[in-house]
Amino acid sequence: MPQQPIAGRYELLEELNSGGMGDVWRGYDAVLDRPVAVKVVRRQAVAGSPQLAEEFAKRFKREARITARIQHPGVPQVFDAVLDDTDTTYERLFLVMELVDGVPLSAYIHPERPLPVSWAVAVAAQVATVLSYAHEVPVIHRDLKPSNILVARDGTVKVLDFGIAAILRTDVTKLTATGSPIGTYQYMAPEQVRGGRTSPQTDLYALGCVLHELLSGRALFTADSEYLVMYQHVNAAPTPLRVLRPEVPAALEDLVLHLLLKAPEARPADEQDVYERLRPFLPPPGERPGPREAVPEGAPDPTALFRRPYAPRAGAVRPVPTTLDPAAVPPAPVPLPEQLREGIAEAYDHGGDHAPTIREGPGRWQTCASKAASALLACTATVGRSEAERSAVVSRRRTTCVMCTNVGGRWTLRRSAPCSTRSPPRTTGCGRWTTGPR
């Protein structure tokens, strides 16, 4: 990887993932001061011929622009497309995107632990919505699979790598010049295997493969080689879901089989059709998960977007404001001990004409000639009622800070280290003293 920042601004920090088309790195945008994801397209994906390389560069820019037009929360935004044009081979290509904090769908698929039906349906419904926005551009994914689908911490499903497979097409890449079609063989539609024309229904076939795998815990077809798996996609009938998992609703099984039909024109008309058929299995707003709908331990919940739509982000628990009872009897004032009285007298003695800085409460500063004693008295009057400890600066004439504290009803008088004679002393509000400008 280049040690110098890409395009003078993008730094590659650590590798996150590696795939057939390239590597994904965690990066940093030094100009906008934000984390990014950088997709580094492999050199083998670029044709060696200067003519094809130039055509590839044009295609790369065009497809990156089109991909950036997909405006949906389920699609990581494309920020930049960078070509290393130091020579005519364009061997290094970088796609800079939004960095998503999530877990790939493949991490939750296990044959012994099938996912809840509502969980799988919520993922499929969100993916169908993303595909509808992409196909309107139009952009066809061509490589939809569990490892390209992330579930973010708030339950939002993110579909990755839009446009990468579209960019690396047969006429401009070495990968396809050998006859190997772009895509992942476990999720390829029959028309992809044959090298035919792809369409939105190609992505719907892949969605059917993903939904089948989510509900059953196993891939649609398996064999000893990828060529045998591709042969099954073209010729073999899929196993109905209810044979593998009887509790799957019959209507949901019918939808998956409809998505997996061999002829593109026989599949559902569009993503809206798919979404409407998924809706009966989505949780309604306000409904709580049932015992059989528990999500995997530590996993985000994609059903949350349907149970609590447009809910505010869950943050730290904020303290509830205390409501004062007007009828309540105020606590008796804390007696002023003799040691504190001596401190007040000392403050008067050393107040002089200089104006000590007094801090009484968060963010409020007072400056006066001889109110140090008043600060101490305010401290005694307020601390014992609502807080365990408060502090006040009471003197600066002799460059000494005095702090009064009350813990458990016991008052003590403390002196800090000498403060700067040119800068008023400050307190951080929790008993720690510093010096410096206000």
Backbone angles phi, psi at 151, to 5 degrees: -110, 115
Element (H, E) at 206: helix 200-216
What is the spatial distance between Cα 159 and Cα 306, in angstroms, rounded to a whole number? 18
Edge-to-edge strand list for the sheet holding 149-152: 102-104, 149-152, 157-159
The tokens of 397 are what?
A: 């004439």
Q: Which of 420, 404, 428, 267 is nearest to 340 (CA)?
A: 404
Who contacts 380 (Cβ-Cβ below 8 Å, separation ≥6)? 333, 334, 336, 340, 404, 406, 411
Q: Residue 396 carries which DSSP code?
A: -
What is the spatial distance between Cα 149 and Cα 246, in angstroms, rounded to a whole number? 26
- Is residue 437 helix, strand or coil? coil
What is the spatial distance between Cα 240 and Cα 257, in angstroms, rounded to a whole number? 7
Half-sphere exposure (Cβ direction) of 138: Cα atoms closer than 13 Å: 8
Beta bridge partners of 38: 25, 96
Tokens 């869950």 sit on residue: 314
Rg (CA), the chain: 33
- Helix 117-136 with 271-278: angle, nearest 10 deg: 160
With beta carbons less than 8 A apart as the criterion, state whether 67 and 133 touch.
no
Tokens 């892949």 sit on residue: 206
359 to each of 354, 362, 419, 426, 432, how far by Cα in Å?
A: 16, 8, 15, 7, 13
Instruction: State the CB neighbour count (10 A cutoff) for residue 7.
Output: 14
Q: Is 101 a catalytic residue?
A: no
Annotated catalytic residue within 29, 143, 203, 301: 143
Q: For the chain, give percent helix, strand, coil, nearest 5.
A: 35, 15, 50
Element (H, E) at 368: none
Cα-Cα end-to-end distance for the chain? 47
Tokens 């963010």 sit on residue: 363
Give catalytic residues, as residue numbers: 143
